[in-house]
Amino acid sequence: MPPPLKVVFMGSDPIALPLLDWLAGDGRSLASIAAVFTQPDRPSGRGQKTAPGPIKQWAEAHGVVVRQPAKLTPDERVWLAAQQADLALVMAYGHILRDDFIGTPRLGTLNLHASILPRYRGASPIQTAVAMGEAETGITLMRVVRRLDAGPVGDLARVPIAPLDTAADVERGLARACVTLLARALPALQAGTLEFVAQDEARATCCRRLAKEDGRLDFAASARTLAARINGLFPWPCCAVEAGGVPIKLGLADVAAAGEGGSAASNGRAGRQAGEVVGADGDGLLVATGEGMLRLRKLQRPGGRMLPAAEFLRGFPVPPGTRLPSAPMTRLVAGQPFLRD
């Protein structure tokens, strides 16, 4: 077997931790992590104390050199060149890479992007895929170029999205898929047989960094649209509504099919206003929408925990006839990069 590829990893998000664990364990015959680039330590938590991020913590625990530049200066490129790395591997790093930096490792720089490219280029591909009601997503291995997630694709691992999956659930599946993908792709890359194919620009869509206002809901939309949005934006920024003047966070939802939840769900919105609570069944709080019946399965009031609906409603009743106010929903997807990205 050829010697392991010498890899410099560049990332800041915990989604990469299963991959790093694999590279340090069963995958070490294919690649070794020579160094890690990650974001500088930042304030976090309620006390806003400066703390190392998860990738730095992993690197220090495994004796791996850590670089944390605020910007990738020419000095950082010189340092990278001195490592004589075979490959730079990027996942959710948070810095834009210059061409000279991209081309420094012997085999170039590859990115693991958490969508099936060319769909959902940009900063929130996991949340957006779930929020848009997709049945599957994936991890795409691509060459890094100076355009947003637009490089040629070398390989792909697909991950299904189940009806009750939140973004947090899908992220865990994608993290595992990174291992499967690289276990297949690295030997081909080493052998020079991994082919990279240009993306179809006509099919490209883009997503953006999410903000708190993305959690607003318009109950005139369909129950399917609202359930996907609630699940896709959990755990952050999290959709929320007001009930009796109290802000309530929503952690999980689905569509109550005809026959579920009694006659209220069967009758849809007939004679009811969008956002009107029509009752509850064993799985959730039922709310009329523009099309179909929305079932809110997990809810959280201020200072409390996210609870299954039945438990939540024992401590915070929401009687039938309560009107949950609507607000305009923001756009999550565009045909080109959003200006703020």
pLDDT tens track for 131-157:
999 999 999 999 999 999 999 999 999
What's the rounded Cα separation, in Å, for the pair 158 and 239? 27
212-315 shares the fold of 5-206: no
Q: Where are the domains of the chain?
A: 5-206, 212-315
CATH of 5-206, one of 3.40.50.170, 3.40.720.10, 3.40.50.1370, 3.40.50.720: 3.40.50.170
Count Cα neighbours of 129 within 13 Å in the Cβ-side half-sphere. Answer: 32
Rg (CA), the chain: 23
DSSP per-residue string spanning 208-264: ----GGGG---TTSBHHHHHHHHHHTTTTT-EEEEETTEEEEEEEEEEE-TTTTSHH
Burial pattern 15-49, b for ≥16 Cβ within 10 A else e, equals bbbbbbebbbeebeebbbbbbbbbbeeeeeeeeee
Q: Rounded to a whole number, what is the distance in angstroms from the first to the last CA of the chain? A: 43
Q: H or E element: which one contains 296? A: strand 293-300
Region 212-315: CATH code = 3.10.25.10
Strands (E), 45-129: 49-51, 65-67, 87-91, 109-113, 121-122
| Per-residue pLDDT in tens (0 to 9) along the chain, 341 residues | 789 999 999 999 999 999 999 999 999 999 999 999 999 998 877 778 899 999 999 999 999 999 999 999 999 999 999 999 999 999 999 888 999 999 999 999 999 999 999 999 999 999 999 999 999 999 999 999 999 999 999 999 999 999 999 999 999 999 999 999 999 999 999 999 999 999 999 999 999 999 999 999 999 999 999 999 999 999 999 999 999 999 999 999 999 987 555 444 444 445 789 999 999 999 999 999 999 999 999 999 999 999 999 999 999 999 999 999 999 999 999 887 875 54
Q: Say which residue the tokens 């340090």 belong to.
A: 24
